[in-house]
Structure 1
């Protein structure tokens, strides 16, 4: 496991070692001790399967830390700092495959777009699910996220999230 800091404080890009074998490959996706060293005690592991490319979810910032990694397919991840402070609204994007993971601390929004069909995405979290979250519009021009595909499928709920400016005003 190789860990790199990103431009958003607390967000870590993690390179996982994938071992090819005669049948395909093997990777250690989760190791309790290694994640505990990052300050994350995993309490829940969620898996989401997406049949098509171009499915977009997010931008959501929940009250828990997240460890994200595809176990099949590829995703484009857009991470947005939604915590109060100087970094509010900062965006960083990543393309993630099976040898990649992201550690996203609480208060930082995460979103993704499936780049391939039959994508399976793992979400490890350090708190049990609750409905509490902060969300921002996937297509907010201020964020200027360059989604990699023209044909996107998303929920109306995600498209109807407030703009970054509306969040700013709510917090003022």
Structure 2
């Protein structure tokens, strides 16, 4: 596991060892002790499968830390700091597959777009799911996220399409 800090405090990009074999590959995606060293005690593992490319979800900041990694396919990930601090609104984007993971601290918004069909995405979290979260508009011009496909070609939920702007989130926190 190779850990790289990012411009968002607490957001870590993690390189995973993927070992090719005769049948495909093997990776250690979860190791309790290694994640505990990051301050994460995993209590729930969620898996989402996406059949098509261009599926977008987010931007959601939940009250738990997340460890994210695809086990198949590739994703474009946009992360937004939604914590009430000096890096509020800062955006980081990544493209990765099974060889990488992200550690996203609570209060930092996560979104992703599938880049390949048949993408399977793993979410390990350190609190049980609850509906509490802060959301922001995927297409807010203030974020200037350069999605990998034109908006008209993306598939997203009506719920995500109704997320507030970054300015509205800032005002709600004031």
TM-score by length of 2: 0.98
> Structure 1, unaligned stretches of length 5 or more?
none
- The aligned counterpart of 1:156 is 158
SS of structure 2 residue aligned to 1:132: coil
Task: Name the SS of the counterpart of 1:35 in structure 2.
Answer: helix
In 1, Cα distance between the equivalents of 2:170 and 2:26? 44
Q: Which residue of 2 aligns with 1:144?
A: 144
Residue 20 of structure 1 corresponds to which residue in structure 2? Answer: 20
1:26-79 CA distances to partner (integer Å, 9 max, x unpaired)?
Answer: 000000000000000000000000000000000000000000000000000000
Runs of 4+ in 1 over 3 A off after TM superposition: none
Shift of 1:168: 1.0
Q: Is 1:32 paired with 2:32?
A: yes
**How far 1:170 moved relative to its partner?**
1.0
Q: What residue number does 2:57 align with?
A: 57
Matches within 5 A, 1:157-172: 157-172=159-174
Matches within 5 A, 1:81-160: 81-150=81-150, 151-160=153-162
Look up the SS of the partner of 1:41 in the other structure.
coil
1:77 corresponds in structure 2 to 77
Separation of aligned partners in 2, 1:171 and 1:24: 48
Q: CA deviation at 1:124?
A: 0.1
Q: Secondary structure at the match of 2:172?
A: helix
- TM-score when scaled to structure 1? 0.99
* Partner SS for 2:4: strand
Unmatched segments (≥5 aa) in structure 2: none
For residues 109-165 of structure 1, what are the alpha-carbon distances to aligned partners after superposition, in whole Å with 9 as ceiling and x for unaligned? 000000000000000000000000000000000000000012100001101100000
Q: CA RMSD in A?
A: 0.4
How far 1:169 moved relative to its partner?
1.0
What secondary structure does 1:158 align onto?
helix
